[in-house]
Homo-oligomer: A and B are copies of this chain.
Amino acid sequence: MRIDNLQYAKWSEKIFRQMQTGGMDAVHVTIAYHENFRETVLNIEQWNRWFENYPELIMMGKWASDVDVAKSTNRTAIFFGLQNPSPIEDDIGLIEILHTLGVRFMQLTYNNQSLLATGCYESHDTGITRMGRQVISEMNRVGLVVDMSHSADRSTIEAAELSERPITITHANPHSWAPALRNKKDDVIRAVVQNGGMFGFSLYPHHLKDKSNCTLQSFCEMVARLVDKFGVEHFGIGSDLCQDQPDNVVEWMRVGRWSKDIDYGEGSALNPGFPDAPEWFCDNTDFINIESGLQSTGMSPEEVSSIMGGNWYRFYKNNFVGR
């Protein structure tokens, strides 16, 4: 089983074929950053066209069993997620609507303060808001998974405590290895995994030690250390692969429509665009490199296999509940 629990590539037949070549059984794709509800629906419509046009490569994923179907038919099951709660606007009823349309993960914040919680770029973290509590409860009810990858520490810890179901950090790395604002301190990771939550390792260069020059060995040894500390069953991959995207897309991610000024996020004025991928992870055919790298750290085949997909599969099975 091979699952990547976060990508936002510039989707194309080429990339869907690379998923097939790479043996990807499931990929969780971001369908909205700053979109409102109607714009998110337009993005789902675009995915429906891709499902219609490439039925031999990809299929809609709604349940863990869809991963089995995809695997047995040599396709990739695509699961939808939101990196921001903007698609639910200020309407809690849209949570069930979006879940029915296939959305399975939603971040409570994307860097900034949202209606629900505080993002990791704010200077004051006030935790989960009044609406945020209601939203977590409704997400629990319908089976939409809370993702705190872009949230601030206190908000993340509170979400892990408030949620009756396990929550996730779908794409990040430990702060102790690469001290980016988006990477997570041990107490945050602990809060998520101790309640059965999942943590996905990111391959986005701004989240890597030495960024684009990060070595496969450094990455895999970091994974091995974290797994030793917290238990292998809580970890998987959430690569944050942004393959083929033009630089204006990273600007959309960072600024959306919330600012008239440019904000460089994890980049800088001198380095505003997408960073170069490390040479050992450029597309969906490169998961084999990570698998080999993890084996080289001395992990057992079972441990490597659980990180490459088995843990996410089990998480899907336990948490993508229907109503």
| Protomer copies | 2
- Is A94 on the interface with B (CB-CB < 8 A)? yes
Closest Cβ–Cβ distance, residue A320 to chain B (whole Å): 16
Closest Cβ–Cβ distance, residue A101 to chain B (whole Å): 6
User: Which of chain B's residues have a CB closer than 8 A to the CB of A102?
Assistant: 100
Specify the chain B residue showing the minimal Cβ separation from A37: B38
Contact B94 A41, beta carbon cutoff 8 Å: yes
Q: Which of the segments A43-51, A222-230, A242-250, A259-267 contacts the partner chain?
A: A43-51
Q: Interface of chain A, helix or strand or loop or mixed?
A: helix
- Is A97 on the interface with B (CB-CB < 8 A)? yes
Partner of A93, one of B42, B93, B94: B42
Q: Beyond A37-B38, A38-B38, A101-B101, is A48–B96 a contact (Cβ under 8 Å)?
A: yes
Specify the chain B residue showing the minimal Cβ separation from A97: B41
Specify the chain B residue showing the minimal Cβ separation from A93: B45
- Is A91 on the interface with B (CB-CB < 8 A)? yes
Closest Cβ–Cβ distance, residue A79 to chain B (whole Å): 15
Partner of A48, one of B37, B46, B48, B93: B93
Chain A 11-48, CB-CB to B under 8 Å as 1, else 0, gives 00000000000000000000000000110011011101
Contact B38 A93, beta carbon cutoff 8 Å: no
In the complex the two chains form, what is the Cα distance from A37 to B36 in whole Å? 14
Contacts of A71-107 to chain B: CB distance below 8 A: 91, 93-94, 96-97, 100-102
Which A residues are closer than 8 A to B by beta carbons?
A: 37-38, 41-42, 44-46, 48-49, 91, 93-94, 96-97, 100-102
- Sorted nearest first, the 7 A-B pairs with minimum C-beta distance are A45-B93, A48-B96, A100-B101, A41-B97, A38-B38, A45-B97, A44-B97
Give 22 pairs: A residue, B residue, CB < 8 Å, sorted on A: A37-B38, A37-B41, A38-B38, A41-B94, A41-B97, A42-B93, A44-B97, A45-B91, A45-B93, A45-B94, A45-B96, A45-B97, A46-B93, A48-B93, A48-B96, A48-B97, A49-B93, A97-B101, A100-B100, A100-B101, A100-B102, A101-B101
